[in-house]
A and B are shown apart, each in its own frame.
Chain A
Amino acid sequence: MSENVQGTFVSEKISKIRWKHEDFEDATNFITGSWDDPVNKVTHWTFQMNDDGESYPAVVSSYAILGDVTEIKFILKDFFVISTSIGTVRLLQIHENPYSQFKEHMSWEFIHKFDNTNDYASCTGLSTFEQDIVSVGEDGRINLLTAGQKQPVRSINDADSCSMYCIDFLRHNEILTGNLRGHMKVWDLRNDQDLPATTFMLSDQSKTEATSIAHHPTQRHIVVAGGGDGSLTVWDLRHNTYPMSQLNAHAKAVSEILFHPDRPENLFTCSASGELWHWNNTQHSKLSLDPTNTHWLNTIGTNGKVNVTSLCSAMHKPINSIDIDRSTLLFGCDNEAIYVVRNITV
Chain B
Amino acid sequence: MDENDSPLTIDIPNVPKHLRITGSWVNSNRIGIYKKLAKGSSEKYDPTVYILRPDIILFSPQLRKLVNESNGVFLSIQKIKSVSGDVRPELLKHSKQYRSILRACIESLQDICGKCLSDKKESLENFLTIFYQIECVWHLIEILYVDVVPGDVILPQLLEWIRFHFPSRELVAVKILAQKTIGADLEYPNYWEAVIGCALHGKLDLVRALLALHSKADHPAFVMAENVLKTMPIYNVYGGYSIDGFTTCWKRWQLELCSNLNSKAFIVDTNLEMIMKLIAGEQDMLWQFSQYTDAWYELLAAKLFYTSPCCKQPELSLHANNISKRWQANRPSDNAIRAVMESNLHRVIKEIQYMGDNGWFAAHLVDLLYACGKLKILDRDQVEVSNQLHESLILEYGNTLMGHRSLWQCGASYLIHCPVQGLARLEILLQSLPMGSEARVNKILDIARDNKMDHIVTSICKIQGLKSMKQGRLGNALAWALKAQDSGFTTYIADQFLKRYAEYGELDCRDLLENLGFCMMASDRLTFLGKYCEFHQMYSIGEFKEAASLLVSLLVSNLTPKYFWSILLSDAIPLLEAKDVILSSSDCFELLRCVEAHGDDLKFQNKIEIFRLAVARNLARALSLEGCQVEH
Contacts and interface: CB of A to CB of B under 8 A. Distances in A.
Interface stretch (A214-222, A291-299, A332-340): A332-340
B511 A37 contact: no
B446 A272 contact: yes
B459 to A, nearest CB: 18
Given A85-B439, A115-B472, A335-B410, A199 B65 contact: no
Nearest to A337: B68
Contacts of B405: 36-38
B511 A317 contact: no
Contacts of A38: 405
Candidate in B69, B472, B474, B479 with the most chain A CB atoms within 10 angstroms: B479
Interface in B416-450: 436-440, 442-443, 446
B578 interface: no
A116 B65 contact: no
Contacts of A11: 61-62, 64-65, 68
B479 A316 contact: no
B313 interface: no
Given A117-B470, A207-B519, A180 B476 contact: yes
B479 A180 contact: yes
B482 A207 contact: yes
A1 B440 CA distance: 27
Contacts of A165: 438
Contact of A36 (B440, B479, B511, B515): B440
Candidate in A139, A161, A180, A201 with the most chain B CB atoms within 10 angstroms: A161
Contacts of B446: 252-253, 272, 318
A335 B473 contact: no
Contacts of A9: 64-65, 68-69
Contact of B406 (A12, A183, A272): A12
Contacts of B147: none
Contacts of A336: 64-65, 68
Contacts, number: 124
Given A161-B475, A334-B409, A122 B515 contact: no
A114 B437 contact: no
B549 interface: no
Given A199-B515, A316-B72, A335-B410, A161 B476 contact: yes
Contacts of A316: 71-72, 75, 413
Interface string A1-23: 00000000111110000000000
Contacts of B474: 161
B80 interface: no
B471 interface: yes
Contacts of B245: none
A337 to B, nearest CB: 7
B457 to A, nearest CB: 13
Interface in A204-229: 204, 207, 209, 228
B556 interface: no
B71 A181 contact: no
B512 interface: yes
B515 to A, nearest CB: 6
B517 interface: yes
Contacts of A117: 470-472
B508 interface: yes
A19 to B, nearest CB: 23
B517 A161 contact: no
B302 to A, nearest CB: 34
Interface in A181-204: 181, 183, 185, 196, 199, 201, 204
B509 interface: yes
A316 B446 CA distance: 13
A13 B440 CA distance: 12
Contacts of A178: none
A12 B405 CA distance: 11
Nearest to B450: A252
A37 B437 CA distance: 13
Given A13-B406, A336-B64, A85 B437 contact: yes
A68 to B, nearest CB: 6
Contact of A163 (B69, B413, B438, B470): B438
B357 to A, nearest CB: 17
Contacts of A161: 473-476, 508-509, 511-512
Contact of A201 (B62, B438, B475, B517): B517
B511 A183 contact: yes
Interface string B569-581: 0000000000000
Interface string B511-534: 110010101000000000000000
Contact of A199 (B71, B511, B517): B511
Interface string B29-72: 00000000000000000000000000000000110110011011
Contacts of A183: 511-512, 515
A204 to B, nearest CB: 7
Contacts of A122: 437-439
Nearest to B66: A9
A318 B443 CA distance: 9
Contacts of B517: 201, 204, 207
A138 B479 contact: no
A59 B517 CA distance: 49
Contacts of B509: 161
Contact of A272 (B65, B443, B475, B479): B443
Contacts of A209: 442
Name the 6 nearest CB pairs between A and B, nearest first.
A161-B475, A161-B509, A116-B472, A9-B65, A11-B64, A122-B437
Given A85-B437, A317-B413, 19 more contacts: A12-B64, A36-B436, A37-B406, A116-B470, A117-B472, A122-B437, A124-B438, A124-B439, A140-B473, A140-B475, A140-B476, A161-B509, A161-B512, A162-B476, A163-B438, A180-B476, A181-B482, A272-B446, A335-B68
Interface of B: 61-62, 64-65, 68-69, 71-72, 75, 405-406, 409-410, 413, 436-440, 442-443, 446, 470-476, 479, 482, 508-509, 511-512, 515, 517, 519
26 contacts: A9-B64, A9-B68, A11-B61, A13-B406, A36-B405, A36-B436, A36-B440, A68-B436, A114-B472, A116-B473, A117-B470, A124-B439, A138-B438, A139-B473, A140-B473, A160-B511, A161-B473, A161-B474, A161-B475, A163-B438, A165-B438, A207-B482, A316-B72, A316-B75, A317-B410, A336-B64
